[in-house]
Amino acid sequence: MQTRVLKIGTRGSELALAQARETRARLMAAHRLQEDDFEIVVISTSGDRIQDRPLSEVGGKGLFTKEIEEALLTGGIDIAVHSSKDMPTALPEGLELSCFLEREDVRDAFIGRAAAKLEELPERAVVGSSSLRRQALIRRLRPDVEVVMFRGNVQTRLRKLNEGQVGATLLANAGLRRLGMAEVITELLPVDRFPPAPGQGAICIESRIGDTRVRDMLAPIGHGETEAALSCERAFLAALDGSCRTPIAGHARVEGDRIAFSGMILTPDGAEVHEIEADGGISDAASIGGRAGETVRARAGTTFFDSWT
């Protein structure tokens, strides 16, 4: 019986499986391996099972990673493939984010039935989103529309939209592109007006610290610019204690040996916003993000964060 070279752990949604298959394809090309050399292991997570409540009420981002990380720690899988924006800033002891694949488009996609564009929605239109960041940004731009909680995977949310439960929804352009579903998009929202979540559009791979065999396998498929950008964005999140409970946007762009970062924090109603921009050398990426988070936290003042709890 053939022994698999690598066991890849993932959630079971179509998007998660597409990301696992992309990782497998890159590893196959880098090491001249076959599909049979890999096993994709589907792991059900609490975040997938809990559909009747906002994640902010039941534990935040960690609900999408807990069971997968347990399998990684016990040796049930060799690597875990995640959407970077789903990853908490603090990882379990013994685990690390060891690889980032080249980032896709970071923009949010508007999918409208009541109107093709966010700005064209009629007053009191209903928009569905499970992201507190998206909810706050919608309310900032269109305080006259109603924003409702909208859980489920991509296909579930699109089905609910087509059933008329809401007049519009928002999804990550990167995810729709990976699923070959970009045709459903009616508007791509510009980053300067609708900034993305930290990590949006990037696939990250988690592994055990000290597993040199895995690290050597992953090395050829890692993308240095994406890793630098994500280290900046995740440091910004960490300084703000960011999770699914908090409306935070952040985007780092690598330009040669420099990195430029823009970040935003909002109250959930979108009424109060604090923005920051920072830049510096790419080798200082994490420090740039961390300092930006600390600066915007101090600028907002302690009462601003009362609405986040």
Angle at 216 between CA 210 and CA 221, to 5 degrees: 125
**Ramachandran class of 308: left when φ > 0, alpha when ψ lies in -120 to 50, beta otherwise:** alpha
Q: Are 126 and 145 in contact (CB under 8 A)?
A: yes
36, 37, 86, 241: the active-site residue: 86
Could you identify the residue written with the tokens 């985007």? 251
From CA 42, how far away is CA 22, in angstroms rounded?
15
Specify the residue for token string 């493939």. Answer: 81
Distance separating alpha carbons of residues 191 and 132, to the nearest angstrom = 17
264 in helix, strand or coil? strand
Separation CA 113–CA 108 (nearest Å):
16
Residue 282: CB atoms within 10 A of its CB come to 19
86 labelled catalytic: yes
Give the residue among 132, 127, 128 at the shortest CA–CA distance from 56. 132
Task: Pull the structure tokens for residue 101.
Answer: 């694949």
Indicate which residues carry an active-site annotation.
Answer: 86
